[in-house]
Structure 1
Amino acid sequence: MMRSLWSGVSGLQAHQIAMDVEGNNISNVNTVGYKYNRANFADMLSQTPRVATAPQGALGGQNGMQIGLGTGINSTTRIFSQGTLQSTDKNTDMAIQGNGFFIVSPDGGKTRLYTRNGDFLRDKVGNFVNNSGYIVQGWSRDDETGEIDSTAPIRDIVIKEGLTMPARATTFLKVKGNLDSGNDIGNQSSPVYALDQFHLAYDENGNDRVYQVDPVTGAVITAPIPGTQPPQNAPVYEPGEEHVENDVNQNKFYTNAKNQQVITDRGVNMGVIFDEQGNGVSLRDGQGLWISYANAETKPMTIGSADPNTMGQLQQASTLDINLNGTRIRSVAGEVTHISDVARLINEKQSETGVQAVVSAGNQLTLINYNNSNTTAKTKNIHLQVNTNGTQGLNPAGSNSVQGITGQNIITAYQYTYSSSPIATTYQYDDSIARRFTTTEDLRAAMMEDAQKWTNYNHETYTDTNAFVASQAASAAGTTEATKNLNDGVVFTVTKDGRYQLENPKSGTDDRTINLSITGLTKEGDGANQAISENQRLKNMLSPLSGSLSPGQAIRTSGKMMMASHGSTVEIYDSLGSKHEISLQWRKVGMTTDGGTEWSLLIQVPEPAEINFSGVGPKNAVTGSMRFNADGSLASFYPAGITFTANNGSLPGQNIQLDFGMGTDFNGMTSFDKDSTTQSTSQDGYDGGILKDLKVDENGVIIGAFSNGNSYGLAQVAMATFTNNEGLEAQGDNVFKETANSGQAVIGTAGTGDRGKIAAAKLEASNVDLSRSLTELIVIQRGFQANSKTITTSDEMLNTLLQLKN
């Protein structure tokens, strides 16, 4: 009877403990990171009045008899299920998604405690702590290497107040973009480079000459150029004014109104130039122009009678038989009786020869070719051959040939043809030999040479080049004034806005009117050579130069010649954190042999900064180039880097590597047929900054955001896992300590091993389920009530027993 009383008492006690456990769970329903407990019931040792016996003989086995003595709580189990993650507005809040614990210490790391509560903050001195003041353990950034070593021992995480980030000088610069390789670039262009009037020299000092002159006589000094093998008696250039315009490694600059350095006196491949509307001229080899500097005109030839009554009348009916510019002009026998008949026959073939016959003074015949129409060689200049059996132009006895017509060779127009590969031009008094040009300088120099020295302004007949050269030499010496054919004053240049400019100044010596005529150039194909078509855009570009220009009249200019161009500005930093701008300017200057494109590159920085230490050219600018493959990928570029000195007290000689991408990955500069653009730029420099904010990534790295817009990892929170989480011992303040049954802590970073990831700006809610807990309360309450009934029932039975004595 007494046993039932004690069983009921044990049941009351056990259920009271279970009530305490569940009450604690409910009280922690809002405790961050709390894991609920469960009370584990176990029965007590039973009294055994009779033990079980095995079967013996005919007697079967009997079970033992045991009487239970009650129940008790032998343990509690903490359930480490995942709690709900709740977003907060605090960047340093952390929640663990998955297994693991944060590590905190109340004594500088000597004692380690473990928690799921990630409600962390910085104290006054920068300690990263929980709300109990325990310092979070982990790894801090090494100031020397700038790295966080998560293999090192953990220690207190301290992020000092007022932490600063020192400035970092730029060491590399990466640019990604596209340079338009197409033939339609719109307004993404810049004028071709300016060219002065001097070939293989540049008027550096602006005194309108590049040769040294005798200070007394003013004559050009005719000593050899130092360090070269020039023709005998070549003039001496003024110091520093030798310059090969087509050599991209010889740079000349001028400073524009924006205080920028601009390349000047450099030739540009005319195969890649554009008109002002952005349309590519697209010259191919052999295409070009006919340019005439004066009308090709013969001296008047006397044909027929000078008598006023019979003016121009031939003595007898005659036959005209001539070759004019390769076209045979032949009359019927006896057809020609007057000078007008000769003029008529010649003019009937004008469309084939380009030559017009003009009669003056009644019996004077002049042949004129204005060189302003047609595009073929047989319609330019005057090449007249008289087909007679006697002396040229004379009518021997018994002959019926026209008297007075003589052979003529008047050249004032020359053909200029493009060559993608540079070919040296030789000058001859021969219009069948083209002047070859590749660059704007080649064409400029050729036009100026021909206008000055190789145009037959005097209409004299020369049998060949040697005769013309001899005449020019005599003219220069002043011995044959009557045959003087020089025009030394004429000047061709290229202006800063990309126009060919013609000047014909009046000097009083060798002044001649220039009558410029520009037409296209075509050639018929044959078995060995392809036909050459007219390049209309090139002709239209230079046509504004056409017309008559007397000495001293206003200058005349062509249309604009443009280059495909693109520019970009990138900011870099010096060792003090001062910001500087680097300007990158690209210009399309040619084609590669495999069909790709070539671009010049001009890199410059504002003064007083320097990037050019060669001693040649401006100190704040360097030039380079880029070559692209036919598929638009970057084949090569230079320079690979620059050396930058800000001249503001920062460290000089700052090396900056240039990265424009390489190869077929197309992860840098490309040259496709689409608009030029800079897609992205990046560099690794920055100015100094102070710590403004903290953020945490999923691996527990505490990232500092600084006032300069940069950020880096300051520390990393450590995480611990255990073999048996339920073996941890709660220490209050929502922390646990390691026990003999939990196993030792395995420490590492979040997201590695079986450790969970960290969710920033979130906290893990308690995993207490109120519906389960409240149901559990009802069950515990009923159990408690039932045990109390056991006691009261046993008491009534005892009372009945006591009443038997009475």
Structure 2
Amino acid sequence: MMRSMFSGVSGLRNHQLRMDVIGNNIANVNTIGYKRARVTFQDMLSQNIRGASSPQGGKGGTNPQQIGLGMTVNSIDILHTQGSSETTGKVTDMMVDGDGFFMVGDGNNTFYTRAGNFDFDSAGNLISPSGLMVKGWMADDSSGDIDTTGAISGIQIPKGQAIQPQETQNISLVGNLDANAVTYDDTVTPPTGTTVPVSLTVYDSLGNSWPLTLHLDKDSASGQWLVTRIDNPGWTTAPSVSGGPIIFDSTGKLTAAGDGPLVITGAPPNANAFVAGTNPITVDISSLTGYASDSGESNVELNSQDGYSSGVLNGYSIDKTGIVTGRFSNGLTKQLAQVTLANFNNPAGLMKVGENNYVSSNNSGQAQIGTAGSGGRGDISPGKIEMSNVDLSQEFTDMIVTQRGFQANSRIITVSDEMLQELVNLKR
């Protein structure tokens, strides 16, 4: 039999394999996160007819004479180039902008995927369309801190989950007390001079909100202000304030002797008391100034405070680092979880297992797990999904080339058969 016939057979077989890969690429042109494959060929072993000889005896050397025995597949590569993005507006849809893979699992197995069309199930688990849980780090329930060095787990965020109240412990004030304010005098009726009310809202251990109003009065001592009284909102033990006076220097800045915090104590009904030495409310006044005001008015207001009432989860958002932030009915926002990304030294070494998922292999390297935007891992684009990176113009061109290659190899077999037929006819 002729060697050319077997070469043609190898060409037919492997061009058919290439056509199978092209067909799969085209079939997945609209598959979320799909990465196209590419087939490359190489020649097979060659039969030596004559070896090479070196120059000698006044004669030149000769090259080897070899006849190739056909071709075979060199590689089937997965091309992990970035696919185009599609904006969906859905909060739980995510796209990796750059390198990296989402991690999903079923409790026993871990898979990697570029398809970020996720959603929540009835238990609040963030899952892929096939029911695999999206992996990440859960935030600490009390502090909201996320430990990205700890063990990863499935992300679970039940809608409507409650957040316990936090009693107020720290308050910060900001503003200016007019240096030209008139000294306050309450020995006359009605009192004269300047008093500056500061409205606050504090929360007890049960989450009850209590409005308090501090009254800052200009003292007879130049440049000094005193907290002379605080309204009683109906506490069992009336609130009181200690600390002060508030003293400004000639430049309108607080002096070392007058910048100490104010301390509020008292006992709301049916809740933990704000007791000095245990859990009082500390009021930071270090941001106050004592400049002269053109309007002749002082303006001091609440800058921040750490208390809040109880609430339930109303919604959530995801940022480019994968942090899921919850919005609660009490107006509080709090970190709930962070999505994990993984990267590989050789992503092309990953093995496809269906459902847009990959598993690691001996040649992919170990998964390098971390946060988005670090360690060569891309950012996360929420509200978007990554489309397939299949280029139809490239696939159709490859299809034409493959078809012509298949036809040419089939012609080799046909011509070889005709030559054999001529050889048989010599007998007649």
TM-score normalised to structure 2 length? 0.90
CA-CA distance at 1:115 after TM superposition? 1.0
CA-CA distance at 1:53 after TM superposition? 2.0
Cα distance in structure 1, aligned partners of 2:343 and 2:248: 56
- What aligned pairs does 1:339-738 form with structure 2 within 5 A after superposition? 494-496=188-190, 498=192, 563-590=193-220, 592=222, 597-609=223-235, 619-622=238-241, 624-635=244-255, 636-637=258-259, 640-647=262-269, 649-653=270-274, 654-661=279-286, 668-674=287-293, 675=295, 676-678=298-300, 681-738=303-360
Cα distance in structure 2, aligned partners of 1:778 and 1:607: 84
What 5-or-longer segments of structure 2 have no aligned partner?
none
| Conservation of the 8 A alpha-carbon contact between 2:241 and 2:262 | no
Match of 1:136 among 134, 137, 143: 134
Cα distance in structure 2, aligned partners of 1:134 and 1:19: 32
Which segment drifts farther, 727-736 or 125-134?
A: 125-134
Change (3 A) 1:745 1:179: same
| Conservation of the 8 A alpha-carbon contact between 1:608 and 1:620 | no
What 5-or-longer segments of structure 1 have no aligned partner?
184-188, 194-263, 266-493, 499-562, 612-618, 662-667
Cα distance in structure 1, aligned partners of 2:130 and 2:63: 59
CA-CA distance at 1:54 after TM superposition? 2.2
Cα distance in structure 2, aligned partners of 1:64 and 1:679: 94
Letter in 2 for 1:650: A
Letter in 1 for 2:288: M
Cα distance in structure 2, aligned partners of 1:742 and 1:603: 70
CA-CA distance at 1:803 after TM superposition? 3.9
Counterpart of 2:19 in structure 1 is 19
Counterpart of 2:37 in structure 1 is 37
TM-score normalised to structure 1 length? 0.49
Counterpart of 1:84 in structure 2 is 84
Counterpart of 1:329 in structure 2 is none
Query: Which of 1 and 2 has higher RCO (CA within 8 Å, sep 6+)?
Result: 2
CA-CA distance at 1:689 after TM superposition? 0.9
CA-CA distance at 1:726 after TM superposition? 0.9
Cα distance in structure 2, aligned partners of 1:644 and 1:759: 49
Cα distance in structure 1, aligned partners of 2:204 and 2:231: 13
CA-CA distance at 1:9 after TM superposition? 2.1
SS class of match (1:650): coil
Please list the CA deviations of residues 252-296 of structure 1 after superposition, one character each: whole Å capped at 9, or x if unmatched.
xxxxxxxxxxxx32xxxxxxxxxxxxxxxxxxxxxxxxxxxxxxx
CA-CA distance at 1:740 after TM superposition? 0.8
| Conservation of the 8 A alpha-carbon contact between 2:241 and 2:263 | no
CA-CA distance at 1:567 after TM superposition? 2.6
Counterpart of 2:62 in structure 1 is 62
Match of 1:768 among 377, 390, 393: 390
Please list the CA deviations of residues 523-569 of structure 1 after superposition, one character each: whole Å capped at 9, or x if unmatched.
xxxxxxxxxxxxxxxxxxxxxxxxxxxxxxxxxxxxxxxx3443331
Cα distance in structure 2, aligned partners of 1:633 and 1:773: 72
Match of 2:377 among 755, 759, 762: 755
Quick check: which one's strand share is greater? 2
CA-CA distance at 1:142 after TM superposition? 3.2
Counterpart of 2:124 in structure 1 is 126
Letter in 2 for 1:704: G
Change (3 A) 1:679 1:4: farther
Cα distance in structure 1, aligned partners of 2:32 and 2:386: 6
Please list the CA deviations of residues 747-796 of structure 1 after superposition, one character each: whole Å capped at 9, or x if unmatched.
22222222222222222222222222222222222222222232333333
SS class of match (1:586): strand
Letter in 1 for 2:209: K
CA-CA distance at 1:637 after TM superposition? 4.2
| Conservation of the 8 A alpha-carbon contact between 1:43 and 1:72 | yes
SS class of match (2:198): strand
Cα distance in structure 2, aligned partners of 1:145 and 1:569: 27
Counterpart of 1:6 in structure 2 is 6
SS class of match (1:118): coil
Cα distance in structure 1, aligned partners of 2:173 and 2:86: 43
- What aligned pairs does 1:177-216 form with structure 2 within 5 A after superposition? 177-182=175-180, 192-193=184-185
| Conservation of the 8 A alpha-carbon contact between 1:128 and 1:157 | yes
Please list the CA deviations of residues 121-146 of structure 1 after superposition, one character each: whole Å capped at 9, or x if unmatched.
22122222111111122222233664
| Conservation of the 8 A alpha-carbon contact between 1:626 and 1:634 | yes
Equivalenced residues, count: 418
CA-CA distance at 1:670 after TM superposition? 1.0
Please list the CA deviations of residues 221-256 of structure 1 after superposition, one character each: whole Å capped at 9, or x if unmatched.
xxxxxxxxxxxxxxxxxxxxxxxxxxxxxxxxxxxx
CA-CA distance at 1:730 after TM superposition? 0.5
Give the percent of matched residue pairs that are identical in Structure 1 and Structure 2: 43
| Conservation of the 8 A alpha-carbon contact between 2:203 and 2:309 | yes
| Conservation of the 8 A alpha-carbon contact between 2:35 and 2:78 | yes
Please list the CA deviations of residues 7-51 of structure 1 after superposition, one character each: whole Å capped at 9, or x if unmatched.
222222211111111221122222222111111211122222222
Please list the CA deviations of residues 592-635 of structure 1 after superposition, one character each: whole Å capped at 9, or x if unmatched.
4xxxx222334524331267xxxxxxx34547531112212122
Cα distance in structure 2, aligned partners of 1:603 and 1:168: 26
Change (3 A) 1:606 1:768: farther
Which has the greater radius of gyration? 1
Cα distance in structure 1, aligned partners of 2:314 and 2:143: 22
Please list the CA deviations of residues 636-694 of structure 1 after superposition, one character each: whole Å capped at 9, or x if unmatched.
146532124212x1111241111112xxxxxx111222243246521011111111222
Letter in 1 for 2:375: G
CA-CA distance at 1:576 after TM superposition? 1.1
| Conservation of the 8 A alpha-carbon contact between 1:180 and 1:564 | no
SS class of match (1:119): coil
Change (3 A) 1:638 1:8: closer
Cα distance in structure 1, aligned partners of 2:2 and 2:231: 103
Calculate the aligned-residue CA RMSD, in Å: 2.4
Change (3 A) 1:761 1:605: farther
| Conservation of the 8 A alpha-carbon contact between 2:159 and 2:314 | no
| Conservation of the 8 A alpha-carbon contact between 1:570 and 1:681 | no
Letter in 1 for 2:146: I
Change (3 A) 1:169 1:789: same
CA-CA distance at 1:736 after TM superposition? 0.6
Cα distance in structure 2, aligned partners of 1:580 and 1:750: 42
SS class of match (2:55): coil
| Conservation of the 8 A alpha-carbon contact between 1:168 and 1:685 | yes
Letter in 1 for 2:285: F
Change (3 A) 1:638 1:738: closer
SS class of match (2:280): strand
SS class of match (2:396): helix
Which segment drifts farther, 138-147 or 576-585?
A: 138-147
| Conservation of the 8 A alpha-carbon contact between 1:698 and 1:760 | yes
Change (3 A) 1:606 1:781: farther
Cα distance in structure 2, aligned partners of 1:749 and 1:174: 33
SS class of match (2:245): strand
| Conservation of the 8 A alpha-carbon contact between 1:580 and 1:605 | no
